[in-house]
Amino acid sequence: MKARIPKNYGGMPGSMQGMIQQAQKMQEEITKKQAEIDEMDFTASVGGGAVEVVMSGKKELKSITIKPEVVDPEDVEMLQDLVISAVNEVLRAVESKTSDEMDKITNGLNIPGLL
């Protein structure tokens, strides 16, 4: 009686190879999309346009515009709060865009090591 050796014995099953190829493709798409996001600019405005912040997708602050009428030497704390609020808002926008775009690629899967 001859012993039967299962197909793909000693190698990866076909479905495993397919999964690896799919993961590699997904990683390439993630890298490409992250590069696109890195090149984007995000803007947030608070206080009715009193403070505007522009940040890159790399989370680098590019500019802060403050309308002169909000510069009150008697109320520096308000201006500080507006700047903090604008920076936090633009950071949330960058994070949200990045998360949304990655979810489109991964179909919402949280794959350790891919992101």
Does the pLDDT value for residue 11 go beyond 70? no
Rounded Cα distance between 50 and 58, Å, is: 24
Residue 17's pLDDT band, with cuts at 50, 70 and 90, is: confident
At residue 63, what are phi and psi to the nearest 5 degrees? -160, 155
pLDDT at position 105, please? 86
pLDDT at position 45, please? 96
What pLDDT digit, counting tens, does each position of 69-109 carry? 999 999 999 999 999 999 999 999 999 999 999 888 888 77
- The 3 state secondary structure assigned to 20-70 is HHHHHHHHHHHHHHHHHHHCCEEEEEECCCCEEEEEECCCCEEEEEECHHH
Q: Give the mean pLDDT of the chain.
A: 87
Which amino acid is located at 64 in the chain?
I
Q: Which residues contact 101 (CB under 8 A, 6 or more apart)?
A: 33, 37
pLDDT at position 106, please? 83
pLDDT at position 82, please? 95
Residue 41's pLDDT band, with cuts at 50, 70 and 90, is: very high
Rounded Cα distance between 94 and 53, Å, is: 12
